Amino acid sequence: MRTDAQKNYEHLLAVAREVVTEQGAHASLRDVARKAGVGLGTLYRHFPTREALLETLLRSSFDALTERAAELEASSSPEEALVSWTQRCIACAHEYRGAISLMVAAIDDPQSALHDSCVAMKSSGARLLVRAQAEGVARADLASADLFALISALAWLNDQPSFAPRAEHLFDVVSSAILPQRTGNDSRKRRTPAPR
Amino acid sequence: MRTDAQKNYEHLLAVAREVVTEQGAHASLRDVARKAGVGLGTLYRHFPTREALLETLLRSSFDALTERAAELEASSSPEEALVSWTQRCIACAHEYRGAISLMVAAIDDPQSALHDSCVAMKSSGARLLVRAQAEGVARADLASADLFALISALAWLNDQPSFAPRAEHLFDVVSSAILPQRTGNDSRKRRTPAPR
DNA sequence: ACCTGAACACCGTTCAAGT
DNA sequence: ACCTGAACACCGTTCAAGT
């Protein structure tokens, strides 16, 4: 890459990160190019699709997620590993508003720039899930697709301003379905204040 | 309403139903007007916002939902009533792809044409939830906002083509979190085949 | 080798002008 | 009283022309 192209690329990415943080994953790409002081074509050459841009923005988070799964498998109980990783997963998908819809669409589309990252995420989750199931602590009838779906649903809920305040509680509720025997997961006991 | 206006209104609604069924709640309104053979302004006068159009399309379903809640309260066990109504609720929100996002946004926006319907839905659910909680069969720490959130999340999952095939199973999983003591809800037993 | 921005085909929304 | 569609300000995407 020519040094001027490299500079364009990096600046574009920095501006995109700002704009997407503010406006979400469906931000205007025209706006990104404009704010970066760059021609539209330059943006499209560096990032041929919205997914490609998002993938680059989330790259390091995705990598950290995979790494974290391996660490947790070695260091934590099957139960704690699954809960902790799931939480991180949701935070990662929630990094940019609206990103989760694109990720969900990508899991079934090998053409998408987000495909590999999402498959990796699903696989990491699958390992932790199987491990917890072997221990009898996670629901036996969950497939990795189900875990990915539940994580996606929680990330989507967090994206909705009306539900965001109850995000933690909703996580607990869904967790209790994944790990029915979880310590302190007695659903008859009030764990979080329930507003009217 | 003048009879020609009435005719326009009804034809517009019929065409809108078709288009929205095909393309989802974010279908082009221009396209609806075009296919109805009507000026854009005509559509906007009858339905000042996308929400207004959707509200009209879903009107009878919303009414049926409220009615059904009352029926179930009288005729079924607290547990069965909540499960059955929740299921209907999801089907209703899922009637048009993408409608759930607009509904979720409407719950906190009294200006939205969908606001009242969503509040009614939430209230109906709240009654059934409280009843089930009084019986000790539903999680005590769930607020009506949580139930609405979980219903929304399931409706959203159903909207995603990659998750739709596992919709029923995902409903069972989330149900087991809402009703931990539900008959046959033993999560250690395999209830639905889990594909690899 | 890389960049630009006009061109094209679309949106949603408003509102002057028509019947 | 109702209808129309041009006008405006936006999109995403492509690609000929420039440096």
Q: What is the pLDDT of residues B125-140, one digit of tens each?
A: 999 999 999 999 999 9
Checking if the pLDDT of B42 tops 80, the result is: yes
Quickly give A18 CA vs C9 C1' distance in Å.
29
Residue in chain A nearest B106 by alpha carbon: A162
Q: Which CATH superfamily is domain A56-187 in?
A: Tetracycline Repressor, domain 2 (1.10.357.10)
The answer to whether A124 and A66 have CB atoms below 8 angstroms apart is: yes
B8 touches strand D (CB under 7 A): yes
What's the CATH architecture for A1-48?
Answer: Orthogonal Bundle (1.10)
Nucleotides of C strand lying within 7 Å of any protein CB atom: 1-7, 10-16
Q: Do domains B1-48 and B56-187 have the same CATH topology?
A: no
With CB atoms and an 8 Å threshold, state whether B176 touches A173. Answer: no
pLDDT score recorded for residue A107: 98
pLDDT of the residue at A190: 38
User: How far: A46 CA to C3 C1' (Å)?
Assistant: 12
Residue B4 has pLDDT above 90, yes or no: no
- Residue ranges of domains in chain A: 1-48, 56-187
| A67–chain B nearest CA distance, Å | 23
| pLDDT of A183 | 55
Chain B contact probe: residue of A168, A170, A192 with most B CBs at under 10 A: A170
CA distance A179 to chain B (A): 9
What per-residue confidence (pLDDT) applies to A46? 98
The fraction of chain B above a pLDDT of 90, given in percent, is 89
Q: Which pLDDT score is estimated for B183? A: 55
Q: Each residue of A31-76: pLDDT tens digit?
A: 999 999 999 999 999 999 999 999 999 999 999 999 999 999 999 9
Selecting from A139, A146, A166 the residue whose C-beta is nearest the C-beta of B145 gives A166
Band (pLDDT 50/70/90 cuts) for residue B196 is: very low
